[in-house]
Chain A
C-alpha cells in the first residue's frame, strides 16, 4: 500500500503581478517503509510537493493522500493533530530552540503528545542514543556542530515513532562526513522503524542511499527509478 499519494497536484504562487506555476499536475505514489528521494534543481517545486504531502500547504487542485486520508478533508485542527501523531520533520536549517538542551529539544513535541515528563525524557534519550549523540544530551545548539544539530532534529522526528518522516534538504548545510552520517541515519530509520521517508534534495550524494529516486523539473516528474539500495533491501 502507498503511504503517500499525490494525484494531479497543481500549485502556483503569486508574487506581485507574477504568477509562478510550481506544480503542474504532478502525480506520484510513495511506498511505505522506503526512503524516497525527490531530486531536482532548486525552484523545481520539490519543497512545495513535500509541504503539500505533509499537510503544511494546501494544493490549488488535485488530491494529497497521506496514510489513506485525504488531507483536503481535514480541518486545520485535524491537520495539526495528524502532523503531531504521524509525521516527523527534518529541516535544512535544523530549527532547534536555542534555549533547550538536546534532550529537551527531542522531548518537547512528546509533551504535546501527552506524554509525562519522565517518559518523554526517557524516549528522547533513547532517540538521541540511536542517532549517536549519547554524549551530547545536555548541550544546547550553540555548543553543537551542524551535523550534531541535524542529528538532534532527526532524533526529534524519530522519538514520536512517526509513520511518515519528511526531510527537506537535510544535508545541504553539512560537510561530506556529516552529510553521510545524516543520510545513513535517515536510511536506517526507514529500515528499522518501517517509516516512510520522503526526502527532497539536490545533493547527488544522497542518490546512492535512496530506495527510489524521483527526478523533478518544472513542476513535473521527469524520471522515476529504483536504486541498488532497494535491491539490497529486497535481497536481505
Chain B
C-alpha cells in the first residue's frame, strides 16, 4: 500500500509545519509548566528529600514541614526503645527575624537546628562533612548560595537573628525553601536564637532504622494510639508527598499554578486542533478524489489519523528537546525545575492525545469531501 499520509507530509511539510509547531509549543509549555510545578513544590519538601532517615516524627496533623510545632522531649526515648530503631536525630525549627545590612530592612527566615556530627542524617545530601563541621563554630549559619543576594551578604558576613548575632560560615546548594530563606544552624546555635523558650524546642525527630527493617511496619508500631496522640510518625516519602500536596492544593499560589497548567493544556489543544484541521481541509479535494475512486470513509479516516499521528510525533520531539533546554537553563539559573521521566511520559501522552483527537475532529471535515463537487 502506498503510504499516502507519510508521503504527503514529507512532500508538503510546509503546510503541516504550523501544526507540528503548535504541537511542539503545547508540549513545551506543558513540560516546562510541569517541571516548574514540581520544582517549586518539591522545594517545599527539600528538608525531607535531602535528608537521610526512614521515618519522620512530628506534631500530629502537621501538613508541611514549616508548619511544625514542638513535640515532647521524651519522644526521643520512646522512639529509641524500639528494637528496629538505630538512631534518632533532633531537628529544631523556629521562625526568625533576620536583620542584615541596614539598607535591606528585616526578613523572615526559617532556622533549622541540626546535628553537626559528620554522619548526621539531616541535610545529608546537601551539606558535605567539612561544610557541616563549620556549623560547630558558635553562631555560625549556612544559607543557600541563591539566597545571598537577597540577604545582601557574602560568606563571612554578619547579621542578627531574633536579636542574636550570627555569621555566615558557608553556603550550600539546594537549601532554598518555599516562602522564605532557609538558615541552617547547629542545634546549640538554634537554641540560643530561640528567645521565646530558652530551651531546646524540637519540632521533629528523624529516625534511622536498622538494616532490613520495614519502614511501614516500624511506623505503625511507633505511631501512638488514641484519639489525641502526642506525636505522629510518617515514612520519609509520605511526609514529603504530604508537604508537596499541601503546597500544591491547599494554598492559593499552588492552586493558581495548577489552574494555569489546565489553561495551558486547553490553549494548546485548541491551537493544535485548529491548525491540524486547517491542514487537513487543505487536502480536501485529494480526499474527495480518493472517495470518488471508491476509497471508503474508514480508510480516509486512517489516512488523516496517520497524518495527525506523524505531526504529533514530530511536534513532540521538537517540544521535548526545547523543554529540556529550557529546564537546563532554569536549573543553571537556580530556578526550581524538576523534570521526571513520569512527567515526560504523561505530557507526551497528553500531547499525542491532543493531536489524535484533533485528527478525529478533522475527519469530520472529510464529510464535506463530497466527490460530486469535483464534477461541478
A interface residues, Cβ below 8 angstroms from B: 47-48, 50-51, 54, 56-57, 77, 80-85, 87, 89, 91, 93, 95, 97-100, 104, 107-109, 111-112, 117, 140, 156, 168
Q: Which of B10, B12, B374, B376 contacts A95 (CB 8 A)?
A: B374
- Closest chain A residue to B296 by CB distance? A80
Q: Which of chain A's residues have a CB closer than 8 A to the CB of B7?
A: 97, 99-100, 104
- Closest chain A residue to B298 by CB distance? A77
* Minimum CB–CB distance for A83 against chain B, Å: 4
> Among the interface residues A56, A57, A87, which one has the most CB atoms of the partner chain B within 10 A?
A56
Cβ B292 vs Cβ A50 within 8 A: no
Complex alpha-carbon distance, A95 and B293, angstroms: 11
Question: Is residue B346 contacting chain A, with contact meaning CB distance below 8 A?
Answer: no
Question: Is residue B332 contacting chain A, with contact meaning CB distance below 8 A?
Answer: no
Given A95-B289, A100-B2, A104-B7, A112:B372 Cβ within 8 A: no
Q: Which of B10, B292, B299 contacts A89 (CB 8 A)?
A: B292
Question: Is residue B137 contacting chain A, with contact meaning CB distance below 8 A?
Answer: no
Q: Which of B8, B290, B291 contacts A99 (CB 8 A)?
A: B8
Cβ A95 vs Cβ B285 within 8 A: yes
Q: Which of B2, B286, B295 contacts A84 (CB 8 A)?
A: B295
B interface residues, Cβ below 8 angstroms from A: 1-2, 4, 7-8, 10-12, 285-286, 288-297, 299, 371-372, 374-376
Q: Which of B10, B289, B290, B296 contacts A91 (CB 8 A)?
A: B289
Q: Which of chain A's residues have a CB closer than 8 A to the CB of B294?
A: 80-85, 87, 109, 112
Nearest 3 Cβ contacts at the A-B interface: A84-B294, A99-B11, A83-B294
Q: Which of chain A's residues have a CB closer than 8 A to the CB of B2?
A: 100, 104, 107-108, 111
**24 A-B residue pairs with CB within 8 Å:** A48-B376, A56-B372, A56-B375, A77-B296, A80-B295, A80-B297, A81-B294, A83-B292, A83-B293, A97-B4, A98-B12, A99-B8, A99-B10, A99-B11, A100-B2, A100-B4, A107-B2, A108-B4, A108-B290, A109-B290, A109-B295, A112-B294, A117-B1, A140-B11
Cβ B372 vs Cβ A51 within 8 A: yes
